[in-house]
Amino acid sequence: MAGLALGTAGASPARPDSGIRGLVLYGPTCPVQRPGLTCERPYRAWITIKREPSGTVATRVRSHANGRFSARLVAGRYLLEPGNGKPYPRAQSRTVTVSRHRFSTVTIRFDSGIR
């Protein structure tokens, strides 16, 4: 009778317990902002997340209708590249450092071009 071998060879790796959680906002949404009014709203957008400094794509995420997104990632530095319009809406790329066992938070703001 053959013995039972226990091991993890061929097993899928555990999901990381770290990563990025974020909020995507779009604005301004009104030409004149008045006290007590917010001229930003949640925004659905694609975000490409690349490992730094190699530039390899780690994942792509899309924010939900409420503007929230999350990505489980191993510890390291990442570049978040929002999917921009031509010419608007536009958002700046952001570098984020993910620490072990933690989620980093980030807010990405898309400029609507309204002035």
Q: Which of 43, 20, 39 is nearest to 29 (CA)?
A: 39
The string of pLDDT tens digits covering residues 13-34 is 678 999 999 999 999 998 887 8
Q: Which phi and psi angles does 27 have, rounded to 5°?
A: 180, 170
Q: Is the pLDDT of residue 66 over 60?
A: yes
Question: What mean pLDDT, rounded, does the chain reach?
Answer: 89
What long-range pairs does 33-42 form, CB within 8 A, spacing at least 24? 40/109, 41/67, 42/66, 42/67, 42/68
Report the pLDDT value the prediction gives residue 6, as an integer from 0 to 100.
45
Under the banding of pLDDT at 50, 70 and 90, the label for residue 106 is very high
Q: What's the distance, CA 93 to chain centroid?
A: 11
Structural domains for the chain = 19-111 (2.60.40.10)
Q: Are strands 19-27 and 103-111 parallel, antiparallel or unpaired?
A: parallel
